[in-house]
Amino acid sequence: MAQNDSNTKDMILSLNSIEVLYDSVLLAIKGVSVEVPRGGMVALLGSNGAGKSTTLKAISGLLKAERGKVSRGEIKFDGKLIGDILPQDRVALGICHVIEGRRVFDHLTPDENLEAAAPISMSRAKIKSEKERMYEYFPRLAERKSAQSGYLSGGEQQMLAIGRALMTQPRLLMLDEPSLGLAPFLVAEIFGIIQRINKEQGLSVLLVEQNAVAALEIVSHGYLIENGRVVMHDTAGALKENSDIQEFYLGGGEGKNFHEIKHYSRRKRWLS
């Protein structure tokens, strides 16, 4: 396989045909290759159960908690192989994964949620200023910083989950379905903030979404994953124009059979 070195250098993350096994038998993803350029924003699109979340868990190492493991392929972060590194050490390297379903610490206040995520080595003054930065991004959280997080609204919890992840000082932020169950205006607000942080801080973002309409508005590239494989990879603009994508993921297009999308897995394999 021809690895183009000049090409991989400006990639903060590259997955090279990885396979994931659950419980040593169930093959959840079958040779996924994805690249995220430094400072870029990339989306993984696809339907339920396609393998998008599993791909993120392989990158963050959280597979371990679900008895899954990467059985083949390699994951490079910042040019370094990270397959054997513990999840907490990957966070220290600069990868943070906002897991699906928000999962804020219900019985802690938003303020404590943010504090829990600050690296151990971070000084008290820095923690304070970082928390202020999060409250500036998400003013709603500042209003409720002493409430019990379990009682925040869904949108506030998603903001808290993102703020909490940002406290770990990531260089790559991975978001799993941040728009799930949120009103469109909240999705726009949250995506707006992510875009702003991406521009201002150069934070690289890997976004998993079923809401392809919203996702393709903010990312530069997208990968379409079906049945544990990448079946399409293109710029956001081209994906938006693509008639199959329009039909199956953007809710437009007209009368095509779902089976026809499979020819992309042969025609448009990312690796070849």
Partner 1 sequence: MDWIFLSELTVNGALTGLLYSLVAIGLVLIYKSSAVPNLAQGALTMTGAYVVLAFSHNLGWPLWVAIPLAAVIMFLLGMGIERVALRRLAGRPIVMILMMTMGIDIFLRGTTLAIWGGSSRSVNLGVSYDPFFLGDMLLSRIHIVGAAVAIALFVGFLLFFRTRLGIRLRAISDDYLASWSIGISVERGVGLSWGLASVVAVATGVIWGEVQGVDQSLSVLLLKGLTVAVLGGLDSIVGAIVAGIILGILESVGADFLDPFVGGGSRDLIVAAVLILTVMIRPHGLFGRHDIERV
Pick the closer one to partner 1 by CB: 3 or 123. Answer: 123
Helix (H), strand (E) at residue 87: helix 87-93
How many alpha carbons fall within 13 Å on the CB side of residue 153? 10
Pick the closer one to partner 1 by CB: 131 or 240. Answer: 131
Pick the closer one to partner 1 by CB: 165 or 190. Answer: 165
Burial 115-125 (b: 16+ CB within 10 A, else e): bebbeeeeeee
| Min dist. Cβ of residue 242 to partner 1 (A) | 33
| Min dist. Cβ of residue 129 to partner 1 (A) | 16
256: Cβ contacts below 8 Å, ≥ 6 apart: 243, 244, 247
Pick the closer one to partner 1 by CB: 148 or 220. Answer: 148
Q: Which residues pair with 16 in a beta bridge?
A: 74
Pick the closer one to partner 1 by CB: 87 or 253. Answer: 87
| Min dist. Cβ of residue 112 to partner 1 (A) | 5
| Min dist. Cβ of residue 126 to partner 1 (A) | 12
Q: Which two tokens stand for residue 8?
A: 């991989």
| Min dist. Cβ of residue 108 to partner 1 (A) | 6
180: Cβ contacts below 8 Å, ≥ 6 apart: 100, 101, 210
DSSP state of 147: S
The binding site for partner 1 (CB under 8 A) comprises: 60-62, 65-66, 86-88, 91-92, 96-99, 103-108, 112-113, 115-120, 148, 150-151, 154, 164-165, 167-168
